[in-house]
Every structure is written in C-alpha cells, then in structure tokens.
Structure 1
C-alpha cells in the first residue's frame, strides 16, 4: 500500500466512490454529487495550499482517497475506501500511511501539523474502528464522534 498525491486524473474515481450508496450513508452530506460540481470542488481542493489530497494504491489499484484540510496546525481528515476494496483493512492502513507523509510530519517546509482530527457519524462503526486502531482519542458529541490525535510532543511545541 502507498499514498500518492491526487491529481485531476483521479477526480472521476473519487466521484464514483463518493456517490456509492454506502459511502453516502456514512457521509454528513448524503445527496449524490453532480460531475460538474465535483470537478469544480476537486480542482479547488487540489489548488488549495491548506488541503492535502492523496490516493491510496494497493497492488497498483486505486483503493481509496484521503484528504486533510488544514486550519492553523490542525488537520481534519476525510477518507473513503473504494467500494470494491472494502473489508480488507485499508481504512486503518490509509490513516496510518497518512501519518507518515512528509507534509503531515513537517518534513516539507510546511508548518507542522500538531493535531489530526476526524469526524464520524455515530453509526459508521467501520470508520470509528479505523481511528481507534490508530490510537485516536474518541470524543462523543451526540450523533457525531470526533477522533483526535496529537502528532507532536508538548515539549517540542514552539
């Protein structure tokens, strides 16, 4: 398994995964997304310096995507596994791989991300399990669970 930066060539695959019925059930926005609006959104995200988007490849197959939207030194994770690749443990793996990326650990001249968070619908047990297995702390807020992980030691903070 490996992560690589997403490109516009990945946009239609990501749209297909996003519009999958199971993905929509587990998303905060459950409506299908049009091709036109998705392509605009995807390009905007790729061009955004505060967004990192990756594609998970497993055995030369596109298996999922993961995005980090950065505000100050906090990165908010959104990810999905391609419908045909679910049930293989890739959710745990995609988060684990993300945490090793130079853009995340501060080895690419970016401001270091000190904390990663993920928000999960309370009924999305598979995603909750992926965050927990990567040692994220769970916070409950009604219908939403927040998973948080500090990425740097307190002593190393400026």
Structure 2
C-alpha cells in the first residue's frame, strides 16, 4: 500500500476542499449540511490558515494526489487544551482505508487529548475512531462523542 503524505493546506487547495465539503455524503455526515459558496469557503479557508495555533488543516496525498483532509480545532476546557478532529476523504477514494491511515499519521503530532464528534449513522468514521483507540464517552441527539487521551494513541 502506498504511503500517505500529509502537508499543510494552502489557498491553492480551496477548490478541491470546497468540492469535498459540498459532496452529498460529506454534507450528510457534517453538522452543517448546507452547500457552501466559493466566497464563503475562501473566507473560512483564509481565516483557518491564519490561526495555526487554534486550527490545523492538512491535506493527505498519495503520489502527489490529494485524497483527503484532516483538521483539528483547539477546544479549551477548564484543565487543558483538547483538539477536536474532523476529516474528509475524497469521494473517489472512500472505502480504501484512507481515513484511518491519514488520521493515524495526523494524531501523532499532538501531545494533548483529542476528541471527535461523529453522527451515529456515519459507520465509516465510527470504525476509524474505534480502530484508532478513541473511547466513546456519550451519545447525545444522534452524535457520538469520542475522546483519545494523549497516552493511549495507536
């Protein structure tokens, strides 16, 4: 199996990220299911790239071809910073183990606890979280809340 390479996202990735974001399956798995305009997306991407201490946005590539993206947003609670993960696999690459491989590489760069919110019907992402060692903490209104302490990463 070919290696996955992670690189920081840039403005040049705007079109592919928007296409993945507006994909029907991606929207069904997202908290915000609205179709996003290019203008809205560029504003979001510029903001995201300007706050690397609060948001990490990476592109996963195989042989120089973008196959997915993973993002981490810092969430501050009373005791520590926790990073909330989200991810998207390119529609044409789904079902090939990309999410697990890119997230396994991505999470190794974090020393803090991690979390993820996954809709109950998103079986593929649930399997990825389970395989990576995330612990299901609770289910609320159709969303599963997972956490991964810093010392139990796979």
Asked whether the equivalents of residues 95 and 131 of structure 1 are also in contact (C-alpha less than 8 Å), the reply is no
In structure 2, the partner of 1:42 is: 45
Following superposition, the deviation at residue 12 of structure 1 comes to 1.2
Partner residue of 1:71? 75
SS at match of 1:13: helix
Residues 1:128 and 2:136 are matched in the alignment: no
The CA deviation at 1:66 is 0.6
Q: 1:85 aligns with which of 93, 112, 116?
A: 93
Check conservation: 1:51, 1:69, Cα contact below 8 A. yes
Is it true that 1:55 corresponds to 2:54 in the alignment? no
Q: Which ranges in structure 2 are unaligned for 5 or more consecutive residues?
A: none
RMSD between aligned residues: 1.3
Q: Given the two structures, how large is their TM-score scaled by the length of structure 2?
A: 0.88
Mapped to 2, the partners of 1:152 and 1:45 lie a distance apart of 28
Task: Specify the SS of the correspondent of 2:28.
Answer: helix
Deviation, 1:152, is 3.7
SS at match of 1:69: strand
How many residue pairs get aligned? The number is: 143
Residue matched to 1:109 = none
Report the counterpart of residue 110 of structure 1 in structure 2.
none
Deviation at 1:20, TM superposition (A): 0.4
* TM-score normalized with structure 1 length: 0.86
How much does 1:57 deviate? Answer: 0.5
Deviation string 1:35-64 (CA, Å, 9 cap, x unpaired) is: 000100011011013111100001221001
Which consecutive residues of structure 1, in runs of 5 or more, have no partner in the other structure? 106-113, 154-158
Deviation for aligned residue 1:2: 1.4
Report the 3-state secondary structure (helix = DSSP H, G, I; strand = E; otherwise coil) of the residue aligned with 1:120.
strand
